[in-house]
Amino acid sequence: MILFKADYKKYSVSQLEMLRFKEEDFYRRYDHCVLLQTCNRVEVYFDPNFVNLENLKMDFKDFELIKGKDAIIHLLRLASGLESMIIGEDQILGQIKKSYYTAKKYGKTTKYLDTVFLKSIHTGQRARSETKINKGRVSIASAAIELLEKNVELKNKNILVVGAGEIGTLVGKVLIEKNIKAIFVANRTYERAERLAKKLGGMAVHFDKLKEALNFCDVIICATASPHKILDKDTLKDVKGEKIIVDIANPRDVDDNVRELPNVKLYTIDDLRLVSKENLEKRKKEIPIVEKIIEEEFSILQRKLEKLNFEHLIKDYRNYIENIRNRELKKALKMIRSGKDPEKIIVKFSEVFANRLLHDFIEAVYSNKVDKEVIKDMITLLKSKIQ
């Protein structure tokens, strides 16, 4: 496996934003790969059997390169929740599934990638069903609310959720457990805002009325999929009252310049690292158990990949033999058509075919490219088959 990785451990939110791809453009350019993009990571997995690593290095020079076993182990750990900002979070498993099936829809996966990704999904499922690694609040949305609770009393506060997509929905589900005074939902598509607001027992807000909603609410949680900033210093400069904003969108919804406003407190995904650290302490007892599951599943996966590699080897060997056979057969048929004795030609064809195979075999043995003990065992086995 070849992996080009950028995640929250070494990259800031703004750096990750710059490294993100437009999915359609990415798959138009690259083959034999899976692109995984989440709130806090951009990762590209390539099948090493079909790509040239040196050619890819320039394209992904800003990413960390991981190869072979380490890349596969990383994916298994990621699916199990061990590489997430919040240890054990469930959302990443769904994101891996979605990314894999998207790559498959574009026709970009291979038998190798299918095997590895399906095993990662199974490993993640085992980790969650057999351990307590995902017990309690673990999603980015939950972490955002947990962060808020450490800094403000949420009870009887007016909350505005900007964005009615997947993350916004998760945020809303956590909020309704918190005895919030009122929940408002704003979205560019008003119908989506209405649907989410109805589920939450809140009120939908037209996007062109966003400024009025900002004035009315105490806490704003931004979670849109917009490629552009939706809040900045100019938008908020006339908003009255103390405001707490949590920006968990990627790309970011809120410009950093809002920090210059004395009545605004801004939190981003980077701030969630503190929450992650505390959750890690709660879950660290489960980590060795999950790692044991990963070890077991990796051993099974290795055997599958070895079998797959052998199948590739057999296919290559069959093609090698077919190329020789076709070449010599064409010569033999040409000679027969020219009127030469077919029986002699067939005998000659079989001799040339056998000698060609033997010549290449002997050349490989004498060049020390093949283990001679393995060759002896193979010949002994073949002799027993003939007898």
pLDDT in tens, 144-197: 888 888 888 888 889 999 999 888 888 888 888 787 888 999 999 999 999 999
pLDDT tens track for 316-367: 677 778 888 888 888 888 888 888 888 888 888 888 877 877 777 777 666 6
Average pLDDT over residues 33-53: 94
Of 256, 206, 202, 199, whose CA–CA distance to 232 is shortest?
A: 256
- H helices present in the chain, as ranges: 13-19, 23-29, 53-59, 68-79, 91-105, 111-130, 140-151, 166-175, 190-200, 210-216, 233-236, 272-283, 287-337, 342-366, 372-386
Q: Which residues pair with 186 in a beta bridge?
A: 162, 205
Rounded to two decimals, what is the model's pTM? 0.60
Q: What residue numbers does the annotated binding site cover?
A: 38-41, 84, 89-91, 95, 163-168
Which residues form the catalytic set? 39
Q: Which domains are seen in the chain, by residue range?
A: 2-136 (3.30.460.30), 140-276 (3.40.50.720), 312-374 (no CATH)
pLDDT tens track for 111-157: 999 999 999 999 999 999 999 998 866 567 888 888 888 888 888 88
